């Protein structure tokens, strides 16, 4: 791993939080992700199962976690399962964790090799009534591919059909949404790396630069600061391409007079940052560009003012939509007749702001969490309103990351330049 070792107390706390939610006389089993093929004998870069990582900090393939808090042998109440190191395999694929290394990362004392776990697991399962198994239940994700979690669940249910089975994901959706102070420290590191990178870009961007050159600068800056890499594929969209929400070609020239929308974030210790800024390619906002940018900034700050414990994402989004309706009329995008005749299911402002305002953020960029229940202290959200105007070939989005506290919210990106004048001054200094 490129990042410095994280505090194992993060994972110790996370396991305790999960165990506290388990039913009596139960066992929970978590598996790592599959190694997925590309073509020929190639493999995609391995990405650990987010839930397993959240509980252990282990990023190695072929790993498992077993939580059995009622085990009569105390040392087997938390068991980390790893693939046994193989000298020949390590010559090809590199170092695999030893017992002491895995303990230091996870805070788990008992390490068992994968090739010996089956004989130990069977008698434990015979003693319990309930088995917790994990599945990927992110609402945005399709479940067509039968990955390891689903194969393992089917196999265990066939072998032990009379046990009660419970979904770990239901508990984890609740727990992972609430970040501990230790998790916020890691997220802040990812955000600080992202800030340094944005400031670097303000001195790099100029007319004639290619979108992919900016992307290269981002990746270089991330790696030079010990980030694992990008939290997601960077969006570098100049001119009219900024209206494409997930534009990833990053292949065009950035021209004088255009705005460039950049949506990128570092991943550090598997925790993600998610920043969007829209800046002038030549370092100076035009009059209309400044009007649209400041309208978007107003919506951003309005949203930050109401995103607090107790409100639901649905109600929050509706309120931001109300404010967008007022602002879009002021800047000439909507007429009174547009608003009067709007479809309640497809409101008039949606022509210019056609995505959600916020999403959960954490180990995953679109992290798990509820949409319908009231927001709780401890959650982390993006706030990212945008204004996209086809007839003006312009797109603006502004995004920061906020930690919700009992007293409101805390802008984790408060030090990243956001005002028109600040951005222009920093670009001028290049």
**The length of the chain, given as a count of residues:** 430
**Pair (101, 193) in one structural domain:** no
The answer to whether position 4 is within a domain reads: no
Structure tokens at 188: 């802040």
**Short-list 359, 336, 358, CA closest to 348:** 336
- For residues 163 and 128, the answer to whether their CB atoms sit within 8 Å is yes
The reply to whether 26 falls in a domain is yes
**Residues 298 and 350 reside in one and the same domain:** yes
Q: Are residues 247 and 204 in the same domain?
A: yes
How many distinct structural domains can be found in the chain? 2
Indicate whether 1 belongs to any domain. Answer: no
241 and 380 share a domain? yes
Question: Last residue of a domain, which of 155, 174, 193?
Answer: 174
Among the candidates 139, 174, 209, a domain finishes at: 174
What CA–CA distance (Å, rounded) separates 169 from 186?
Answer: 23
Report the CATH number at residue 279. 3.90.230.10
Looking at the structure, do residues 187 and 314 belong to the same domain, yes or no?
Answer: yes
Which residues are paired to 409 by β-bridges? 404
Same domain flag for 61 and 34: yes
Q: What is the pTM of this model?
A: 0.96
Q: Identify the domain boundary among 174, 204, 233.
A: 174
Give yes or no: residues 131 and 198 share one domain.
Answer: no
Three-state secondary structure of 117-159:
HHHHHHHHHHHCCEEEECCCCCCCCCCCCCCHHHHHHHHHHHH
Q: In terms of Cα–Cα distance, which of 69, 73, 79 is closest to 24?
A: 69
Which structural domain range is residue 144 located in?
A: 9-174
Which CATH number does the domain housing residue 54 bear?
3.40.350.10
Q: Are residues 134 and 218 in the same domain?
A: no
The answer to whether residues 37 and 157 belong to one domain is: yes
CA angle at 12 for the pair 166 and 26, rounded to the nearest 5°: 25
Residues 230 and 341 in one domain: yes
Residue by residue, pLDDT tens for the chain (430 residues) are 899 999 999 999 999 999 999 999 999 999 999 988 899 989 999 999 999 999 999 999 999 999 999 999 999 999 999 999 998 889 988 999 999 999 999 999 999 999 999 999 999 999 999 999 999 887 777 667 788 999 999 999 999 999 999 999 999 999 999 999 999 999 999 999 999 999 999 999 999 999 999 999 999 999 999 999 999 999 999 999 999 999 999 999 999 999 999 999 999 999 999 999 999 999 999 999 999 999 999 999 999 999 999 999 999 999 999 999 999 999 999 999 999 999 999 999 999 999 999 999 999 999 999 888 899 999 999 999 999 999 999 999 999 999 999 988 999 999 999 999 999 999 998 6
**One domain, residues 190 and 335:** yes
């Amino acid at each position: 791993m490129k990042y410095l070792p994280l505090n194992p107390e993060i994972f110790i706390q996370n396991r305790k939080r999960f165990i506290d939610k388990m039913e009596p006389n139960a066992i929970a089993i978590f598996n790592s992700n599959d190694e997925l093929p590309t073509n020929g004998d190639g493999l995609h870069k391995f990405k650990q199962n987010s839930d397993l990582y959240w509980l252990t900090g282990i990023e190695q393939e072929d790993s498992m976690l077993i939580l059995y808090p009622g085990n009569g042998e105390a040392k087997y109440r938390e068991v980390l399962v790893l693939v046994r190191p193989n000298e020949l395999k390590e010559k090809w694929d590199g170092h695999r964790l030893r017992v002491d290394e895995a303990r230091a990362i996870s805070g788990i004392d008992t390490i068992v090799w994968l090739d010996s776990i089956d004989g130990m697991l069977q008698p434990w399962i015979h003693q319990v009534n309930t088995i917790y198994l994990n599945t990927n239940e992110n609402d945005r994700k399709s479940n067509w591919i039968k990955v390891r979690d689903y194969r393992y669940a089917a196999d265990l249910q066939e072998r032990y059909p009379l046990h009660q089975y419970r979904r770990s994901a239901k508990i984890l959706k609740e727990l992972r949404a609430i970040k501990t102070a230790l998790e916020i420290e890691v997220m802040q590191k990812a955000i600080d790396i992202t800030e340094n990178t944005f400031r670097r870009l303000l001195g790099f961007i100029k007319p004639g630069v290619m979108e992919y050159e900016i992307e290269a600068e981002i990746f270089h800056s991330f790696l030079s600061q010990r980030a694992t890499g990008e939290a997601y594929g960077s969006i570098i969209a100049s001119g009219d391409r900024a209206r494409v929400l997930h534009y990833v070609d990053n292949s065009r020239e950035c021209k004088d007079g255009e705005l460039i929308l950049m949506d990128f974030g570092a991943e550090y210790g598997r925790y993600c940052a998610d920043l969007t800024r829209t800046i002038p390619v030549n370092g100076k906002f035009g009059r209309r560009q400044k009007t649209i940018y400041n309208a978007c900034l107003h919506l951003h700050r309005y949203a930050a003012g109401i995103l607090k414990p107790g409100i639901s994402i649905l109600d929050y989004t509706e309120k931001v939509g109300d404010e967008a309706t007022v602002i879009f009329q002021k800047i000439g995008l909507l007429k009174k007749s547009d608003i009067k005749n709007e479809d309640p299911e497809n409101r008039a402002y949606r022509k210019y702001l056609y995505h959600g305002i916020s999403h959960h953020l954490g180990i995953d960029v679109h992290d798990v969490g509820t949409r319908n229940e009231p927001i709780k202290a401890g959650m982390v959200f993006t706030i990212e309103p945008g204004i996209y105007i086809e007839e003006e070939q312009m797109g603006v989005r502004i995004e920061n990351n906020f930690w919700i506290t009992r007293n409101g919210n805390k802008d984790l990106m408060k030090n990243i330049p956001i005002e028109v004048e600040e951005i222009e001054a920093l670009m001028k200094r290049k």
